[in-house]
Amino acid sequence: MIHFEWPFIFLLLPVPWLVWRFLPPAEPAGPDAFYAPFVLDMAADVAADQKSGSRGAAVLLSIVWVLLLCSASRPQWLGEPVEMPETGRSLMLAVDVSGSMETPDLDLEGSRGTRLDVVKQVAGNFLERRTGDRLGLVLFGTRAYLQAPLTFDRKTVKRLLDEAETGIAGKKTAIGDAIGLAVKRLRKSHDTDAVLILITDGANTAGAVTPRRAAELAAQAGIRIYTIGVGAREIMVRDFFGTRRVNPSADLDEDTLRYIASVTGGKYFRATDRKSLEEIYHELDRLEPVEAGNRIVRPVTSLFWWPLAVALFLTILWSVFHIFRHGMLPKPVRPGRR
């Protein structure tokens, strides 16, 4: 069905007739008047039609006026009602993009992949499943940035996550600032259920707010935080002395991540490979289910350009007709000359 967003615009329909009926004719223009041949010629055609008894120009002007009002009233086409799942939950994803996330110690499709590549792939699949949630994305390194505000557009959030690169926010890790930024955005959503999922592979080495203080602020705001520590426990490396075992996650501050989760009512997870990370996200699906009520929405398509285009076409058509009927428009009269 067609719907007019601003129907009160049609109250202006009689304005041209009221102006013509009750206002006195304009006085003759002086030598300093602005010369507008299009308006003058159209007015002349209307006057000529009145003398001859024809109403062609007046009818054309009336149609153009109605079309302009139709365009200004914001006509819209409302589609069929569609049920959209809605959980009422705001879910923010905070992803560490510091330099250490480039460490290639996780499995990725049969080979070694960087931590960030594995996180982007697994977390992207998680985002696609969150139908009905308002999703947001924070990327943090030395500084924390809001990459995607809370939105129902899962595809856009996933694409922005896929485009993330290590080092774009600095080489260090500002966990506290990332939590603080996410809490600020989640509080503005005014949703009763707000969740933050924090993914990192290190300890807080930058930022103005400590992670523990930021977690306490999140708890006061009623925001649950699930923390995920990423990185293999040990890998085999070759050096001058042969092959030896090393712990690539030695810098991971698990005590702080556990504290953040416990004080906010969340849970801490440890991901040592892709499989364990996938299991963590499936566990998050269980802890924060997406099943909820539906809301009815109707797709809206703007139609304002249709009447506007028709009005423009009729105006151009009249101009072409006028040129062929009366010849080219007369040249303007210069002031001081007759």
Q: What is the CATH number of the domain that holds 136?
A: 3.40.50.410
Q: Domain check: are 288 and 179 in the same one? A: yes
Q: What distance in Å separates the CA atoms of residue 89 and residue 1, rounded to the nearest whole number?
A: 32
In a domain, 335, yes or no: no
331 part of a folded domain: no
> Domain check: are 106 and 31 in the same one?
no
Number of domains in the chain: 2
Of the pLDDT bands very low, low, confident and very high (cuts 50, 70, 90), residue 58 is confident
Query: What is the domain extent for residue 125?
Result: 85-294
* Residue 75: Cβ-neighbour burial (10 angstroms; 0-12, 13-18, 19+): buried
pTM above 0.85, yes or no: no
Predicted local distance difference test score (pLDDT) of residue 53 = 47
Mean pLDDT throughout 191-206? 89
Query: Do 92 and 189 sit in the same domain of this protein?
Result: yes
Strands 223-230 and 235-239: unpaired
**Residues 90-99: pLDDT tens digits?**
999 999 999 8
Strand pairing report for 242-246 and 2-4 = unpaired
Write the pLDDT tens digit of every residue in 250-285: 788 999 999 999 999 999 999 988 889 999 999 999
Confirm whether 288 is domain-assigned.
yes
